[in-house]
Structure 1
Amino acid sequence: MCGRVSTSDIVEIAKELQLKYAEELIKPGGINLPPTVELPVFTDEKPDELQYFYWSLIPFWSKEKPKFSTFNARLENLQQSGTWKHLLGKRHCVIITDGFYEWQKLDEKGKIKQPYLIRMKQQRFTLMAGLWDSWTDKSTGEIINSCTIITRTPNKFMKSIHDRMPCLLTEKTANLWVDKNLPLNERLQLLEAIPDNLMEKATVKKVGDVEEYEKLFEEK
């Protein structure tokens, strides 16, 4: 599961990843972003452009925004589920974050939890594999581009915290994930669990505390 992320502002992302963006598109970052907000992405359609997509995928065939959860897509179900399978090999994206939050259960009933901020080491951004779609609201004519983050079973690093994790990418594999010339089976191989030594975590007292968040990054 991945239900809360942090992001940087558009200028920093574009500069670091060498992505262009529309001049009128000015987006700040956020330290505790939930599904249904817009997240920074680049896609297989525009791999050199920074865009912002609604986080909770709306399939193009939907009559309305889904009432079931679509902010995560389970890797195990991608090729079977009607929500995802039509996007495989055709509409891949990379979601750009500073990291994500996960809560570790400290008691059997899960009433006591310890939040962690988790991110990739050795690269500025924590990149996540995703799928995207474009949906038209027939009542207004508005076109909404939306995305989902693909999740998988955890590696050893994540297993003690949670039973799911996002499919994380290095900068190299991120570019391959959105490469339309690469066969789908090779692109799916990129979603193997990331090595434990490429991840790090920090204990968080309160998710969304700006002062604490900035200190966590300063200490790393």
Structure 2
Amino acid sequence: MCGRFVLLTDLSDIAEYFDIQEIACDYRTGTNISPGQQVTAVVHEGKNRLVNFRWGLIPSWAKDPSIGSRMFNARAETVAEKPSFRNAFMKRRCLIVADGFYEWQKLEKVKKPFHFSLKSGRPFGFAGLYESWLSPDNKRIDSCTILTTDSNELIAPIHDRMPVILPRDSASLWIDPEHQGKEKLLSLLKPFPAEGMKMEEVTMKLG
């Protein structure tokens, strides 16, 4: 799973790295970004746009937004079939911008946190989905979820799941709504190579 992540890179570097043509967000950094908070994401709507979503997907058919608190992750293996995600999988895909993320190792009565990032030190995009939900009084909430897959060899001793990190050569395909080939899209949702990542044990206070 992915329940906490990090984003510290300057906005100018994010815009350059993800080839952003329009910044339409309140850009915020953080060392412990959690579900329910605003996150920064890349969508492609004729051009790459940087936007904000609430982390925790609220399907358009939901009766109220509370369901989002349970839908901050979606399993890559079932995302194309689950009613909560399958429509967004075909039409509303995004990259959720990050520098790193945390996973916890269960050790008897305690959990030990570890921080994972790329050896390159560069930011990256989690594979994500997004939806827009309207309340009965027409208040709109744009929300998202992060896709997860089996862990690679680095993360497996700590946790059996990891977020899907998309390499740059896959990211543009993922966010292009014109690409709707189910099998091609699913083939992108695989563990990031362990040799390209690094791990660091951190304290329980994450910031």
Task: Give the TM-score normalised by structure 2.
Answer: 0.90
**SS state of the match for residue 42, structure 2?**
strand
Q: In the alignment, which residue of structure 1 is the partner of 2:174?
A: 177
Pairwise CA distance, 1:123: 5.5
Aligned to 1:146: 143
8 Å CA contact 2:26, 2:52 repeated in 1? no
Residue by residue over 1:152-211, the C-alpha shift from the partner in whole angstroms, topping out at 9 and shown as x without a partner, is 1212111101011111111121111112333232121011222111111111023424xx
Equivalent position amino acid for 1:176 in 2? L
Tell me how large the CA RMSD over aligned residues is.
1.9
Q: Please give the secondary structure, in 1, of the residue aligned with 2:70.
A: coil
Q: Among 124, 131, 134, which residue is 2:132 paired with?
A: 134
Q: Which has the larger radius of gyration?
A: 1
What displacement does 1:46 show?
5.6
Letter in 2 for 1:147: C
Aligned residues: 204
Against the structure 1 CA distance between its residues 47 and 100, is the aligned structure 2 distance closer, same or farther, given a 3 Å change threshold?
farther
| CA deviation after TM superposition for structure 1 residue 119, in Å | 1.3
1:31 corresponds to: 31
Partner of 1:206: 204
CA 1:208–1:63: 2 relative to 1, 3 Å: same
Task: Give the Cα separation in 2 of the matches to 1:207 and 1:44.
Answer: 36
In 2, Cα distance between equivalents of 1:123 and 1:149: 21
Separation (CA, whole Å) in 2 of partners of 1:159 and 1:186: 26
Conserved 8 A contact 1:32-1:207:
no
Alignment-mate amino acid for residue 41 of structure 1: A
Residue by residue over 1:124-174, the C-alpha shift from the partner in whole angstroms, topping out at 9 and shown as x without a partner, is 1132101111111223x2211110000112121111010111111111211
Check 1:175–1:121 CA distance in 2 against 1; reply closer, same or farther (3 A cut). Answer: farther
Match of 2:164 in 1: 167
Structure number having the greater strand percentage = 2
Corresponding residue of 1:213: none
Residues 92-112 of structure 1, C-alpha deviations (whole Å, 9 max, x = no match): 1111101111111223xxx22
Residue aligned with 1:187, SS: helix
CA contact (8 A) 1:7 1:97 kept: yes
CA distance in 2 between partners of 1:10 and 1:134 (Å): 25
Match of 1:18 in 2: 19
Distance between the aligned counterparts of 1:37 and 1:7, measured in 2? 13
Residues 1:91 and 2:92 are matched in the alignment:
yes
User: Partners of 1:197 and 1:129 in 2: how far apart?
Assistant: 20
Q: 2:155 aligns with which of 154, 158, 161?
A: 158
| CA shift for structure 1 position 91 | 0.8
Identity rate of aligned residues, in percent? 35
CA deviation vs aligned residue, 1:68-118 (integer Å, no higher than 9, x gap): 6100001122122110111122111111101111111223xxx22221111
